[in-house]
Structure 1
Amino acid sequence: MSQTSNHYSVIVVGGGQAGLSVSYFLKEAGIDHLVLEKNTVTHTWRTQRWDAFCLVTPNWQCALPGYPYRGDDPHGFMKKDQIITYLDGFIAMVDAPVLDHAQVQRVTPADGGGFAVTTSRGKFTADQVVVASGGYHTPIVPRMAERLPASIVQMQSSEYRNPEAMPEGAVLVVGSGQSGAQIAEDLHLAGRKVILAVGEAPRCARFYRGRDVVDWLADMKYYDMPVDQHPLREGVRDNTNHYVTGRDGGRDIDLRRFAAEGMELYGRLDDLQDGAMRFAPNLAKNLDSADGVYNRINAGIDAYIGKNGIDAPSGGVYEAPWRPPQQERTTLDLAASGIGSIVWCIGFTPDFSWLDAPVFNGRGYPAHHRGVTPFAGLYFVGLPWLHTWGSGRFSGIARDAEHVVQSVRATREARAVSVDALTA
């Protein structure tokens, strides 16, 4: 491909921590590149987190390339403003070549090799492309939302900010993954009436036998386990994250305790009929399943402590302090419930419709091995479990970005050898 003013050896799509990490290693390798960001760098961290948001993993796991956490609270949990300060330092250190407010509209293979990239700020070409835009693009909101009364304010989890900004009345939180459980807690602690539709998300302890569970799992090498060695293999990518919190120094999120304190729990939200929400009678099953995961993780830690003869405080098994009635409630009359708002916390779907390459499966997920796709010159970074548990997080992105840039460099060198051979 001929060189033009709009041509780069590599174009990186996305200016979050993944894209900036790729830029770090590309700069280290001396490879010219451009990072395209549809908003501004690390935009999601600044605009799609609620006010009380904090990390759910300890600060020591913040290990972006060349920029590990250097604060005085490695076992604490950074709050939103502290996370942004950390990211601002990383942005300044990397000094990536970024074109912001450049939404990528189309990426297609170019005649003669490489890629043509069309954006809202012009057209570019590249020998290779790294997609670092993450996997959480389109908020999931069920079609039943269209039939809810206009008087009920609806928002997606990325739009929630704080209890004070919510309208009067009870708040229905739909979904109990990390965002749903933490938003429900945020509202509950503020004294708001919360109704929570509990899904199948697992949970884990914050602390167990004298240490943060994350510390134990790190010692057990869980965070180094590649996806192809996980018991679920690639199926783990579909798992919902365990709910736990780093709030106020870190603690468990125990939905049963919230229920005992007045939060109303229901099973999975299924439909809206005749002015009433309809729920599946699976609340007890979902709570028991989450507790089962909680206890199995702790049992794994027990086994590790025993095998290695580690001196640690005694452990135990979580026992439920509250259980739903045997005959579960499956309907909730909207008018009688006093619901004034709903927060949808049921996740996102990926959207790579702008990328024209034969690498996607039937669910729109790209085929790859450690981010390297079967299509020459196309890579992904920042997807959940791209290689390990930390692939989409501060803790593991450096390893993935470095591996992808090594592949980029190898492909670049192979092409140079090929061109030299043709012109010799």
Structure 2
Amino acid sequence: MLATSTLIFVRAFFAAGYLCFITCPQAMSLLDSIVKAVAAADDGELFPVSKVPIILNSDDIFPKLKPDSESTAAGPPIRRLSGWSISQTDSDIIESTSKFLKTLKKKLKKPQSLNRADFLQLLNSFLLTNSEKLGLELGYEPSNCADVDSVRSAIEKAGFLICQEVAVLVVHGCLVLELWEILEDLIFHRLVSHLYSSNLIEKLVDRNQARLLCLCVKHIDDLRPSVLLSVLSFFLSPSFDAYNSMLEVKKQWEKQALIAVEKATKKGIPQKASALAREASILLMLAHDDFSASESCLHHLFGNPNIDWLVFSSAISRLNGNEILALIRYLGKWLKKYERFPEAGPCLNAKSVLGLSACENVPSFDSVLAALGLTLDEHFSYLVLNSEFHDELRAMQEVVNALASEADASCALDGIVKHLQNRLNKCGRQ
């Protein structure tokens, strides 16, 4: 794959700078060397074809590399390096990982013969063995290898040992055996790549795993529009079978809101922490009250600070009529809430100070407006021609007009405040 990509780049570079290469013999020689190196790599001449299922530490490898011969001005611009070697520890981990991959692939070919205990023991033994090679203590005995809690602890401490190829098989095993707790940890620790997230999210939608889907949209980057569309459709037009899993997400919001209220009313805590708890309690109250279980799941989508609006626009453009109406009603609720509670705003420190991680998933006023604008742009004709949307749009128009008036007034007050500050500063200097 690397050789093919390099060759494509070289060809494009050559086409773009053809005249430059003709007049520059050194550059032309460099191009010839690159093409020859690519061809040699494809033929397996430079190094034997082998799979290294871990990320090698370049700090231990690059300093040992030396050119085969002294470089001269007349020689070729690219010279082969020698001295390539990896540490014994990395070699042992590569061997252990390769054996684990081979064993797990063999077992997953016959999933009916694979049970939870065998899978957990295999995964835990792999993490425990490689951790010992690195001198990392996981804090439990090998006899507990088939315990779910031990596996979760191992993933938290040694999850970096799970490379992409291993993660694909482990995720597949979790789906087959319905080990949702293990899969949750893999997603949370960002061990699931977007490269194979499409199949994962499709399976989670089929299994009605709303909580895990919420984690996916938060912790997996670069999701494709088709994947986001699947998640959006699942939340906007929920099935009866998915209600219980969505209700679980709703209860998480309620739990976080109650914790915030408790911390805000608790005596003896620092003033800054108490003020932060009050802000968080208002924000979480907005996210919990008046939203259905499925709408509570949508918070994780629109509350994602790393949201790619271009990708989201593509997903929103493919929604059907019922889903568009559900989305507009959802966004309209947020507009009305922010109008009633203008003091509500992001609580960026609530997670680190108070442990209120849900505050990170509350859609901001800006993201609500952005999502509403995209929806109107993508489906303007459909919204105009369908009278059932008109009442919703009129209600939102009133809210937006009121907010715009407040913004205009705030701008005027802001100008007055700045003017008074300047006058006071001048008086202070005099």
Q: TM tier, shorter chain?
A: under 0.3
TM score, norm. by length of structure 1? 0.25
Q: Which has the higher helix share?
A: 2
Higher relative contact order (CA closer than 8 Å, sequence separation 6+): 1
TM score, norm. by length of structure 2? 0.24
Q: Which has the higher strand share?
A: 1
The structure with the largest alpha-carbon Rg is 2
